[in-house]
Structure 1
Amino acid sequence: MPVKVVKNLPAIEQLRADNIFVMDSERAEQQNIRPLNLLIVNLMPRKMVTETQILRLLSNTPLQINVDLLYPSSHVVKNTQQSYLDSFYHSFSEVRAKYYDGLIITGAPLEQMAFEAVDYWLEFLEIIEWSKRHVYSTLHICWGAQAGLYARYGITKQQLPQKVCGVFKSTVENHRHPLFRGFDDYFSFPHSRYTACAEEQIRILDDFEILSHSQHAGLGIVAKKNLREIYLFGHLEYDRETLEWEYQRDKAAGLTAVRPQNYFPEDDEQQPPVKTWASAASLFFSNWLNYAVYQATPYVGERLSSHYEEDYDFNQAE
């Protein structure tokens, strides 16, 4: 089944070229089914690239999904034209009254800044607080995961001696967990970050479970046991070329660029990178949509808003 997006979103053409079924809003209005409503808070600088990556993964299920895109209006976007944002994105004020089955908060290249120094931090805090009553399950990615844990629980981040960059062998700690149904014992997981959350701070949180870990990259995925909050410290959504693009960007900027590990064949950056995480990414996002969102949320969110209470148990959803 398709992902439903705003008509004429440029990502549609790329997705269709990949033989992925995307339905525009006009066609979707003719169908009489209960779609899932998702909100993507896109904090990445290359908006269109990130949209395409996430929509590609969301499309790989038999569910129809309505997707709204949001950017923080308190931030001046430099890499995307304002006309594009006006056409395809919402501000927080425009979605404040809505209820969503799922929320995805992307990463952002801000790890080395203090959270409070981020120009849209107050808006981010407002979105997190709003999500407790208006969103059923939230998926935080990379910086979005670190920022979410800090905003909700005061979990601090720590500067790493060197950027963690590459594709790392990651564990599946609980094969019975819904998010890892169908997974092998290990999976490949791209990471690209300068900071990390302290594992000991997360272990003391009530009702949290560490789901994946890497010997070289550290924490991979943690989640609340009721699946209302899920935190990915890497980038399963990345395309084949994304780590290479970031590496070349850092070199061009004169930074101490770290060549992505386990990415280029024979560690030769002149060879095209190998993608080894596509199946894990597709399965993880499908499991999230199925078990944390579709199986749990009520039929009409705004009429059953009590289901969105922060402490509601998804196992008891009607």
Structure 2
Amino acid sequence: MPIKIPDQLPAFETLVNEGVRVMTETMAVRQDIRPLQIGLLNLMPNKIKTEVQMARLVGATPLQVELSLVRLGGHRAKNTPEEHLLSFYNTWEEVKERKFDGFIITGAPVETLDFEQVTYWDEMRQILDWTETNVHSTLNVCWGAMAAIYHFHGVPKHTLKEKAFGVYRHRNLDPASPYLNGFSDDFQIPVSRWTEVRSDDIAARPALQMLMESDETGVCLVHEERGNRLYIFNHIEYDSTSLSDEYFRDVNAGVTVKLPHNYFPQDDATKKPLNHWRSHAHLLFGNWINTIYQTTSYELADIGIKKG
């Protein structure tokens, strides 16, 4: 089944051109199927690009998925047209009475701030608490993962001496995990962050299980069974050019930045980077969606009732 997104969303045409099966709202109402309800709380500055990245991965499934775009109500986005936000997004306040099978919380460009210094931290705490009763499974990404694991478990983030930036090799720590079904023993994932969570802090909390780790950049993916939560601290969803976009953005702004590690062929920034992580990105999101499908309640209203 294809993914259902608003007909006029800019991601619609991009996904169709890539061969992703996309369903119009008109087509969806003809099918007597309960689609999986997936929410995307998009905290990234370039929201349109993030919509495409996430919808591409969520939509690569034989299941019918309805993707709802959500934004913070108390924070004004500076890099996305207001018309786009009003046309395609609801604030969390507008959707908080709904139930979701899955909910994605993205990264945000605030990772060097203490959590309590982030202007929308109070709203984030409310949203994270709300996921315990209104969401069956949450996928937290980069800063979203650091915020969630700090909120629920007190796991601190630590500032790095220099930015972890590039494509790094990772290890599969639990091949039997349903989230790593089909994963290689060794694979590559893009990393772009100034902070980290540490394996010792994860190991000290029995409720948390590490699933992926890199010798160079540390913890990548953590699972929490009780809360049906995944925490991924790196950007497996990135496009082929995401790291180069960040690199040239900084170069053009006069910021001193190193070449992304293991990214440009022969470390030559004039050459087109190759995507070495796409298949594993599809595997992770597909496994997450499949696990949701097998474990969520048939009746949306029942989600959250048996948690805890």
- Relative to the length of structure 2, the TM-score reads 0.97
Shift of 1:225: 3.2
Question: 1:295 aligns to what SS in structure 2?
Answer: helix
- Quote the Cα distance in structure 2 between the aligned partners of 1:253 and 1:147: 28
- Quote the Cα distance in structure 2 between the aligned partners of 1:261 and 1:223: 27
The answer to whether 1:253 aligns with 2:253 is yes
Gapped runs of 5+ residues in structure 1? 312-318
Greater mean deviation of Cα atoms: 255-264 or 53-62: 255-264
- Quote the Cα distance in structure 1 between the aligned partners of 2:45 and 2:56: 18
- Quote the Cα distance in structure 2 between the aligned partners of 1:211 and 1:297: 22
Superposition pairs of residues 50-199 of structure 1, within 5 angstroms:
50-199=50-199
Q: How many residues align?
A: 308
- 8 Å contact from structure 1 (residues 142, 234) kept in 2: yes
- Quote the Cα distance in structure 1 between the aligned partners of 2:299 and 2:258: 48
> Taking every aligned residue pair, what percent have the same amino acid on both sides?
40
* Aligned structure 1 segments of 4 or more residues deviating by more than 4 angstroms: none
Shift of 1:195: 0.3
- 8 Å contact from structure 1 (residues 60, 286) kept in 2: yes
Gapped runs of 5+ residues in structure 2? none
The answer to whether 1:294 aligns with 2:293 is yes
Question: 1:273 aligns to what SS in structure 2?
Answer: coil
Question: 1:159 aligns to what SS in structure 2?
Answer: strand
- 8 Å contact from structure 1 (residues 7, 26) kept in 2: no
- Relative to the length of structure 1, the TM-score reads 0.94
Deviations 1:158-196 (A, max 9, x none): 110110001111000111111111111111111000000
- 8 Å contact from structure 1 (residues 16, 22) kept in 2: yes
Shift of 1:252: 2.2
- 8 Å contact from structure 2 (residues 135, 304) kept in 1: no
Question: 2:295 aligns to what SS in structure 1?
Answer: coil
- Quote the Cα distance in structure 1 between the aligned partners of 2:283 and 2:241: 20
Question: 1:32 aligns to what SS in structure 2?
Answer: coil
Shift of 1:262: 0.8
- Quote the Cα distance in structure 1 between the aligned partners of 2:53 and 2:131: 23
Shift of 1:217: 1.1
Shift of 1:235: 0.5
- Quote the Cα distance in structure 1 between the aligned partners of 2:143 and 2:22: 28
The equivalent residue for 1:316 is: none
- Quote the Cα distance in structure 1 between the aligned partners of 2:86 and 2:279: 34
The equivalent residue for 1:212 is: 212
The answer to whether 1:44 aligns with 2:44 is yes
- 8 Å contact from structure 2 (residues 170, 188) kept in 1: yes
- 8 Å contact from structure 2 (residues 136, 303) kept in 1: no
Q: Which amino acid aligns with 2:104?
A: I
Question: 1:223 aligns to what SS in structure 2?
Answer: strand
